[in-house]
Amino acid sequence: MNHSLMVNFQRIFLALALLSAASGACAQVPKDFVERYYAAYSGTPTSEKLAPFYHDSVRLEDPTFDFVGKNKAEIFRNFDKSNIMNQYEWQIGQTIINGDTIVTEGNLVAKYGAIPYNMRFVNIFHFKSGLIFRQYDYYDTRMYHQAVKEWLEKNPKK
C-alpha cells in the first residue's frame, strides 16, 4: 500500500471517528423530546407527567418568575399546586438543536381558571444521559399577570 493512500485512509478514519463522536453527543438529546415534553406539559401539567424528563441533579432557572430549582425534588415539590389553575397549549414556533442542547421558542396559549392569556416563551434545555440536566425559561408574562388579576377580582374569596 503506498504512503499517500495510507495517509488518506488515516484522515478518513479520523474524520469518521470525529463524526461518530459528535453524533454520540447529539444522541443524548432524545429524537422526539420536543413533541413528548410539550404533550406532557399540555392541559393541566403534573409532576407525575413531567418528572420523568428530568435528571435527578437538574438545575432549572426561571428569572421570569424568580425561581431557581436546584434539583428534581425541589423543582417538583410544589409544582402540582402551582399549576392547578392553568391549562396549557404549547405552540412551538422553532426548535434549534446543537449537540446536547435544545432551544424552543413559541407561544403558550393558556387559561388561568377560565381567563385566557398568551405568553411568548423561550426554553433552553441541556441534556445529560438523555435527561434534562439544565433548563432556562424565559416568558413574556404581561397577559398572565392580567389574567390572574382578573380571576382574583372575580373570585375574591379564593
CB 97 within 8 A of CB 29: yes
Residue 8: the pLDDT is 43
Residue located via cell numbers 426554553: 123
Residue 10: the pLDDT is 54
Residue 157: the pLDDT is 81
Residue 103: the pLDDT is 97
The structure's pTM equals 0.80
Rounded Cα distance between 87 and 152, Å, is 17
Three-state secondary structure call for residue 46: coil
pLDDT mean for each 10 residues of the chain (158 residues): 46 44 58 96 97 98 95 95 95 96 97 96 96 97 93 86
Amino acid symbol at 132: I
Three-state secondary structure call for residue 143: helix
Spell out the domain ranges in the chain.
30-154
Residue 30: the pLDDT is 87
CATH of 30-154, one of 3.10.450.50, 3.40.50.970, 3.40.309.10, 3.90.1150.10: 3.10.450.50
The predicted-structure confidence for 45-66, as pLDDT tens digits, reads as follows 999 999 999 999 999 999 999 9
